Amino acid sequence: MSFLATDQSVYNIILLISGMILVGMFVGRLAERHRIPNVTGYLFLGIITGLILTFLGYTNLVDLFILITTICLGFIAFSIGLELNFKKLKERQNEVIIVTLTQAVLTFVITAIGLWIFRLELHVALLLGAIGIATEPGPILQMTKRYKTKGVLTDTLVPLHGVEDAIAILIFGAILAFAVSTEQGTPITLMSLFQGPVLELVFSILLALIIGLVFRTIIKQLKYEDYDKDLVVFVSLFVTILISIALANRGLYLFGYHIHLSPILLPMGVGIVFANFSTKLAKHETETMLDQFFPPIMITFFTVVGAEMVFLLYLETTVGLLTRVLLYASVYIVFRIIGKVFGSFIGGVLGKSSRNLRNYLGFCLLPQAQAAIGLAFYARSQLTNTDNGNLILIVVIIGSLVYELLGPFGLRHSFIRCHEVDPNGACIITKPKIKHRKE
């Protein structure tokens, strides 16, 4: 009990996180040997660690764990943005927009209707429906890199996150304004519906453009024969991502008004700007540098987010809410899956997508964690009815636990069925059997 309660508690926490990363690596490798995605192994270790720490009374670590996962999420979002090539997407941009918009709207509508049918208040059901749009990019990036996937499905998943995050911001912001006016009994105006989300979207994109171009200018000044080229690229990359994360999570203060920014869209936008305004060589060197320290970031994210969700469940769940929470969490999980799968299929039909994309895209969009939990926290802080705020938060946390455990299986299944897996990079899927020739 005294391990984290001494004067050297900071160093003890570093030891704890380091141990989670090291053990997580081996748990992930063990999971793959049993045909389980390594992401699931990381998350499972995090959940077990969270349960142990909760039992020992260390739930006060939750704020630190949230900070760690927030930083990791920024790196993940930047890396996804770095994969987006507008020239490559140009021929399919209408299709991607139609598919993304359709699946986002149908996920929102189906999830909200499902919860409302089970007698959840309309404004609360709509808020959960809006949060249901959000998809966690971590498992998608981890598995596409791990399995070296290539094809239409992979090319759609990368740009989809940017469009989907923008849609989620607009819908969630408008619904939150409606929910607040409903609980306070005040009239709602068109300005209040869209002012917050529109400003968040505009300033997230604007800052991403500025930071991305500054980063691109720094790298552009380097000469190939520069002795410290790798050092400058590494430091500039690291600082750029950290600045994006810091600005995205602190927001902007203009003329006494606080503007929220997107913790996913801003760092992702920086990656997109750099990738599309830089030379192929600069982009390749940046990706290579990022890949050097990306594995520990991914392991840290999934192990820590597993423990974080256990802490939050323990701290936020009350006995009085338990029955309602379990009911609505189950409804939320089922109807969001229906919304993602059905919405992606309808979007694929409208966008004239390939059969594989229509049938399997929805299964790739199940993961949900940090971004959704962040929206749930913000919704709770704005609602006057604390029971509704707590209900939203706990439902989203339970849903995120289930989606993070099941999501990697949906991704792996989809990549296999769409034949987008490189056999050399996905040994757990198509492990070649060595036949010994008889002499």
Task: Give tens-digit pLDDT for 372-391.
Answer: 888 898 888 888 887 888 89
For residue 434, is pLDDT > 50? Answer: no
**Angstrom distance (rounded) from CA 12 to CA 147:** 35
For residue 217, the one-letter residue type is T
Q: Please give the share of the chain, as a percent, with pLDDT higher than 70.
A: 91
Contacts of residue 264, defined as CB under 8 A and 6 or more positions apart, other chains included, come to 73, 77, 137, 161, 165, 248, 371
Task: Give tens-digit pLDDT for 199-256.
Answer: 888 899 999 999 999 999 888 887 766 677 778 888 889 999 999 999 998 888 887 7
**Angstrom distance (rounded) from CA 265 to CA 70:** 13
The pLDDT score that the predictor gives to residue 429 is: 45
- The CATH T-level fold of domain 9-417 is Na+/H+ antiporter like fold (1.20.1530)
HEC secondary structure over 250-307: HCEEECCEEECCCCCHHHHHHHHHHHHHCCHHHHHHHHHHHHHHHHHHHHHHHHHHHH
Q: What angle do CA 75, 332, 165 make, to 5 degrees?
A: 35
For residue 439, is pLDDT > 50? Answer: no
Domain boundaries along the sequence of the chain: 9-417
For residue 438, the 8-state DSSP code is P
Contact of 366 with 337, CB cutoff 8 Å: yes
The pLDDT score that the predictor gives to residue 209 is: 94
For residue 131, is pLDDT > 90? Answer: yes
Task: Give tens-digit pLDDT for 50-72.
Answer: 999 999 988 889 889 999 999 99
